[in-house]
C-alpha cells in the first residue's frame, strides 16, 4: 500500500465503512453460532435449525437490492443509518420481549438480514471516494469487514453459556450503538457520486449470459463460505458431540480462514490470473468437502479439511471480484448488487439444505457431496466459458484473466 493511497480519498469514511461492515457481519451471522443452544431450548428439529440460521442469509441477499437502491437514490450514508437502526430495533425486541418460538426466531432472522445487506452500503460508500488506481485497496479494506463473522463464532457461544443466548442480543447492542455513532460522525458521502442505476440497467445486465455465470460462480464461493459458516456449529455438535462453545471455536477457525483469504485471493488472481486462481480454488474446496463426507472418525481431521476448503472458498471470493470488473467494467455497480445477491442465495440454499438433508437422512453426507458436486460443476463451467471469453473480452482483460 503506497503513500499516495493515504493522501487520496477520505480516511474517516473508509474506517467507518469497515467498522460498519464488520459489526454488521457479526450480527448477521450470530444465529449460526447460537443455533445449537437456541434449537435445544426451543425444541427445534435439524431442519428447523437449518432454516433458522439460513433465514438471515436469504434476507440479506434480497435486502442488498433494497439498501443498494437507497444508497443510489438517497446516499450510502443514509442507507447505512437506516439499515443499522432496523438491526438495532430487531435485536432490542428479541432481547426485551424474548424469542419463544421457531416463527419468532425466523422473524428475528429477517430483521438481521438488514445487517447482511450492509455490503451494498459499505463498499460504494468507501469506493466512491477513491480514484481508479486505488479502488482495489479501498474495496479490500472496506470488504475486510466480513471478518465480523469470526467475532460471532468466537464469542457468541461462550457468552450464551455464561449469560443465556437471549442476553447475547442485548450485549451485541453495545458495539452496534457505538458503531452507529461513529458512522454518523465520521462517514461522509463522496461529492462525486455516480448517477443512480435504473431498473433498466439491471435488466440489461440480466440479459447477458455472463452475468448468470458470475452469479453462479459467486453463489458457490461466497454461498459456500457463509452457508458452511452457519451450518458448521450444528455439524460439529451433531457429528462429533462437541459442546456449543467448542463447536464455536472449531467454526471460528474455519471462518477465519475464509475471511482473511478473500483479499489474498484477489492478490493471487492479480498475479496468476483470475481464471487460473479460481479454477485452483474450486478444485481445492470441492475435493476437501467431498472427503469430509466420508464420515471421518476424527473431528480434527474434519476441521483440517473444512479449514482448507474455506481457504479455497475465501480466496475464490476475491478471485471472482477480480474478474467481474474486467468483464463488466462499465456496469460494476449493477454487477456488484446482482453477484452479491446470488452469493447470499447460495448460502441460504446450502445452510437450509444441509439441515433438511440431516433431518431426512440422519447425516450430512449427501448434502456435503452435493455441494462438492456444485464446486466441480463450477470448475467445468469456468473451463468451458473461458474459451468463449478468449474471443469476446478485450486484450487487456485477457492479460489480467490469464486465460
- Cell numbers describing residue 62: 434480497
Using alpha carbons, list the distances in angstroms from residue 159 to 22, 33, 155, 169.
19, 11, 6, 10
State the distance between the two ends of the chain, measured CA to CA, in whole angstroms.
27
Give the pTM. 0.85
CA separation for the pair 233, 334 (Å, rounded): 34
Check: CB of residue 239 under 8 Å from CB of residue 293.
no
Give the number of C-alpha atoms closer than 13 A to the C-alpha of residue 77, restricted to the C-beta side. Answer: 18
Quote the pLDDT of residue 91: 96
Check: CB of residue 237 under 8 Å from CB of residue 249.
no
Check: CB of residue 370 under 8 Å from CB of residue 244.
no
Check: CB of residue 260 under 8 Å from CB of residue 147.
yes
Quote the pLDDT of residue 135: 58
Q: Where in the chain is the domain with CATH 1.20.1250.20?
A: 12-188, 197-403
Quote the pLDDT of residue 76: 87
Quote the pLDDT of residue 134: 62
Rg, C-alpha atoms of the chain: 20
Check: CB of residue 266 under 8 Å from CB of residue 321.
yes
∠254-258-260 over CA atoms, to 5°? 115
CA separation for the pair 64, 247 (Å, rounded): 30
Residues whose CB falls within 8 Å of the CB of residue 250, separated by 6 or more in sequence, listed in order: 232, 236, 242, 299, 303
Q: What is the CATH number of domain 12-188?
A: 1.20.1250.20
Residues whose CB falls within 8 Å of the CB of residue 133, separated by 6 or more in sequence, listed in order: 4
3-state secondary structure of 128: coil
For each of the chain's 403 residues, which pLDDT tens digit applies? Answer: 566 666 676 788 888 888 898 899 899 989 989 999 999 999 999 899 999 999 999 999 889 888 888 888 888 899 999 999 999 999 999 999 999 999 999 999 999 999 988 888 887 887 777 776 665 566 667 766 777 888 898 899 999 999 999 999 999 999 999 999 999 999 888 777 767 777 777 788 788 888 899 999 999 998 999 899 889 999 999 999 999 899 989 999 998 888 888 777 777 777 787 788 899 999 999 999 999 999 888 999 999 999 999 999 988 888 887 787 777 766 666 777 788 889 889 998 999 899 899 989 988 999 999 999 999 999 999 988 877 776 666 544 555 555 5
The DSSP letter of residue 146 is: G
The DSSP letter of residue 297 is: S
Quote the pLDDT of residue 111: 94
**What residue has cell string 485497496?**
137
Tell me which fold the domain 197-403 belongs to.
Answer: Growth Hormone; Chain: A; (1.20.1250)
CA separation for the pair 248, 236 (Å, rounded): 9
Check: CB of residue 227 under 8 Å from CB of residue 57.
yes
Amino acid at each position: 500500500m503506497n503513500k499516495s493511497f493515504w493522501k487520496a480519498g477520505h480516511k474517516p469514511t473508509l474506517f467507518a465503512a469497515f467498522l460498519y461492515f464488520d459489526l454488521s457481519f457479526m450480527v448477521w451471522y450470530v444465529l449460526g453460532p447460537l443455533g445449537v443452544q437456541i434449537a435445544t431450548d426451543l425444541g427445534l428439529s435439524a431442519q428447523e435449525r437449518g432454516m433458522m440460521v439460513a433465514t438471515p442469509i436469504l434476507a440479506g441477499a434480497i435486502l442488498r437490492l433494497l439498501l443498494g437502491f437507497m444508497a443510489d437514490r438517497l446516499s450510502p450514508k443514509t442507507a447505512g443509518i437506516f439499515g443499522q437502526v432496523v438491526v438495532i430495533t430487531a435485536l432490542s425486541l428479541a432481547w426485551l420481549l424474548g424469542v419463544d418460538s421457531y416463527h419468532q426466531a425466523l422473524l428475528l432472522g429477517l430483521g438481521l438480514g438488514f445487517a447482511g445487506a450492509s455490503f451494498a452500503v459499505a463498499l460504494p460508500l468507501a469506493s466512491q471516494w477513491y480514484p481508479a488506481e486505488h479502488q482495489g485497496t479501498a474495496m479490500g479494506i472496506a470488504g475486510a469487514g466480513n471478518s465480523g463473522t469470526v467475532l460471532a463464532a468466537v464469542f457468541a457461544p461462550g457468552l450464551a453459556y455464561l449469560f443465556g443466548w437471549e442476553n447475547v442480543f442485548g450485549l451485541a447492542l453495545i458495539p452496534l450503538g457505538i458503531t452507529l455513532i461513529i458512522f454518523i460522525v465520521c462517514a461522509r458521502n463522496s461529492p462525486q457520486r455516480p448517477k443512480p442505476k435504473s431498473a433498466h440497467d439491471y435488466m440489461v445486465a440480466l440479459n447477458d449470459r455472463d452475468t448468470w455465470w458470475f452469479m453462479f460462480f459467486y453463489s458457490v464461493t461466497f454461498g459456500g463460505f457463509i452457508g458452511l459458516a452457519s451450518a458448521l456449529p450444528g455439524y460439529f455438535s451433531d457429528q462429533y458431540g462437541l459442546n456449543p462453545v467448542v463447536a464455536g471455536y472449531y467454526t471460528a477457525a474455519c471462518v477465519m480462514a475464509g475471511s482473511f483469504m478473500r483479499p489474498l485471493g484477489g492478490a493471487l488472481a492479480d498475479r496468476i490470473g483470475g481464471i487460473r486462481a479460481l479454477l485452483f480454488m474450486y478444485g481445492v474446496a470441492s475435493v476437501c468437502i467431498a472427503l469430509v463426507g466420508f464420515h471421518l472418525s476424527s473431528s480434527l481431521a474434519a476441521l483440517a479439511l473444512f479449514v482448507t476448503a474455506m481457504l479455497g472458498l475465501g480466496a475464490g471470493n476475491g478471485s471472482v471480484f477480480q474478474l467481474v470488473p474486467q468483464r463488466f467494467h462499465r456496469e460494476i455497480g449493477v454487477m456488484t448488487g446482482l453477484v452479491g445477491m446470488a452469493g447470499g442465495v447460495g448460502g441460504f440454499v446450502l445452510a437450509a439444505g444441509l439441515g433438511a438433508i440431516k433431518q431426512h437422512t440422519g447425516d450430512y453426507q449427501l448434502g456435503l457431496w452435493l455441494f462438492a458436486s456444485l464446486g466441480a460443476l463450477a470448475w467445468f463451467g469456468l473451463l468451458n466459458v473461458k474459451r468463449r471469453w478468449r474471443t469476446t473480452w478485450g486484450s487487456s482483460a485477457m492479460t489480467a484473466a490469464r486465460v
